[in-house]
């Protein structure tokens, strides 16, 4: 990267999975990277920041402190987790995330940053378009009329509207990505906030040969999954672009939960059976991303195959499980 292109960049939520990988990538590209979060998962071993703040971003003063002197802001901070977490922590998720997002928008406006990125979610899409396993890809325009599946999705949709309001009223130069099931190594894999790919990898890694693992739901629900490196590339391209409306960042390769579990079992080399817990939460019946717009606007689409990405992810989680004993 040429020195003339070097930015002073803030990544908030950099203690988490996507934020830490994004900050690491941006620093490797030669930018000055400040990171901020309320806690740090510690999975990436090497230093990935130039300046580090441990702050509660529900407080406006802390947001102003974090943003001071920055050119670009990537806002990925959120109270969130997998389907088990976001379907059992409604109030905390809405309260924390609304405060973080509104405070960050106000702080970015007050300090007149050059560009502001908000990480939204495929959870903004309505229930009535996700009722069957063989679901068509969701286009960005499908978010309205609104009917997200849980309060986390409603909060993300509200925050998108808030971002657009600050863009409209105050000229804040904004970008919005709707992430679809981002996975990979060096992320949460245990403790209740992990998502399906990591949870399945952990279950298989811990299972003895010949045992069974529990699958939430009947295994026929479907999703698409995007590898972390592809997600980071799409995110940076969006920030560098002039596009200000929401864009899907994900994969359009649909797979059932059962098929994903089978893939991981094959990767493990074990003989493992599956049992289904029909009382566990499983979210919408099917969700897939339509990538037509992001291909047109950014020339981006994911490159990592699910098989290769899951192999990398499983080996990393298997290593964590073995190290813990």
Confidence band for 186, pLDDT divided at 50, 70 and 90: very high
CA atoms within 13 A on the CB side of 314: 23
Report the C-alpha dihedral over residues 142, 11, 159, 151, rounded to 10 degrees: 80
Quick one: average pLDDT of 189-203? Answer: 95
In terms of pTM, does the model score above 0.85? Answer: yes
Average pLDDT over residues 227-233: 98
Helix (H, G, I), strand (E, B) or coil at 167: helix
Tell me 5's DSSP state. G
192 compared with 49, residue with greater pLDDT: 49
Tell me if residue 203 falls in helix, strand or coil. Answer: helix
225 within 8 A of 254, measured Cβ to Cβ: no
Instruction: Report the pLDDT value the prediction gives residue 62, as an integer from 0 to 100.
Output: 98
Characterize the bridge pairing of strands 115-121 and 51-54.
Answer: unpaired
Catalytic residues: 152
**Burial tier of 147 (Cβ tally within 10 Å: 0-12, 13-18, 19+):** middle
Is the pLDDT score of 1 beyond 60? no
Domains and their CATH numbers in the chain = 3-182+226-249 (3.40.50.720), 183-223+254-287+304-324 (3.90.25.10)
Hey, is 228 helix, strand or coil?
Answer: helix
Name the percent of the chain lying above pLDDT 70. Answer: 98
φ, ψ at 134 (rounded to 5°): -85, 65
Residue 4 banded pLDDT, cuts 50, 70, 90? low
Percentage of the chain exceeding pLDDT 90: 97
Determine the pLDDT at residue 2.
45
User: Is 3's pLDDT higher than 70?
Assistant: no
265 secondary structure, DSSP code: H
Whether 90 and 154 have beta carbons less than 8 Å apart is answered as no
Average of per-residue pLDDT across 188-194: 94
CA distances from 162 to 106, 243, 284 (A): 10, 17, 25
Residues 83-127 pLDDT 10s: 999 999 999 999 999 999 999 999 999 999 999 999 999 999 999
pLDDT higher than threshold 70 for residue 53: yes
Q: What is the mean pLDDT of residues 233-253?
A: 98
pLDDT digits (tens, 9 = 90+) for 160-169: 999 999 999 9
| pLDDT at residue 257 is higher than 60 | yes
Q: How far is CA 244 from the centre of its chain?
A: 19
- 52 pLDDT more than 90: yes
Strands (E), the chain: 8-12, 32-37, 51-54, 72-75, 115-121, 174-179, 182-183, 212-216, 222-223, 226-227, 246-249, 255-256, 273-277
Angle between helices 151-170 and 90-110 (to 10 degrees): 10
């Amino acid at each position: 990267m040429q020195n003339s292109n070097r930015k002073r960049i803030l990544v908030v939520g950099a203690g988490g999975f996507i934020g830490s990988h994004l900050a690491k990538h941006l620093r490797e590209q030669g930018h000055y990277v400040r990171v901020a979060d309320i806690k740090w998962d510690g999975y990436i071993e090497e230093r990935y920041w130039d300046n580090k703040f441990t702050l509660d971003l529900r407080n406006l003063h802390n947001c102003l402190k974090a943003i001071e002197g920055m050119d670009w802001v990537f806002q990925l901070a959120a109270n969130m987790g997998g389907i088990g977490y976001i379907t059992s922590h409604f109030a905390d998720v809405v309260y924390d995330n609304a405060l973080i997002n509104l405070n960050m928008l106000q702080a970015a406006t007050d300090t007149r940053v050059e560009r502001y990125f908000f990480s939204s979610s495929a959870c903004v899409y309505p229930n009535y378009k996700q009722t069957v396993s063989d679901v068509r890809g969701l286009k960005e325009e499908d978010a309205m009329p609104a009917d997200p599946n849980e309060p986390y999705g409603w909060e993300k949709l509200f925050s998108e509207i808030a971002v657009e309001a600050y863009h409209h009223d105050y000229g804040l130069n904004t970008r919005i990505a709707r992430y679809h099931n981002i996975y990979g190594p060096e992320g949460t894999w245990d403790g209740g906030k992990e998502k399906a790919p990591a949870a399945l990898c952990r279950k298989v890694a811990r299972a003895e040969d010949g045992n069974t693992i529990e699958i939430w739901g009947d295994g026929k629900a479907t999703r698409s999954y995007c590898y972390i490196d592809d997600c980071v590339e799409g995110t940076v391209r969006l920030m560098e672009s002039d596009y200000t409306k929401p864009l899907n960042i994900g994969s359009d390769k649909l797979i059932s939960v059962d098929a994903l579990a089978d893939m991981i079992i094959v990767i493990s080399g074990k003989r493992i059976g599956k049992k289904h817990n029909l009382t566990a939460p499983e979210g919408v019946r099917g969700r897939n991303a339509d990538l037509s717009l992001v291909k047109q606007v950014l020339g981006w689409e994911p490159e990592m195959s699910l098989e290769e990405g899951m192999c990398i992810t499983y080996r990393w989680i298997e290593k964590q499980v073995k190290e813990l004993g």
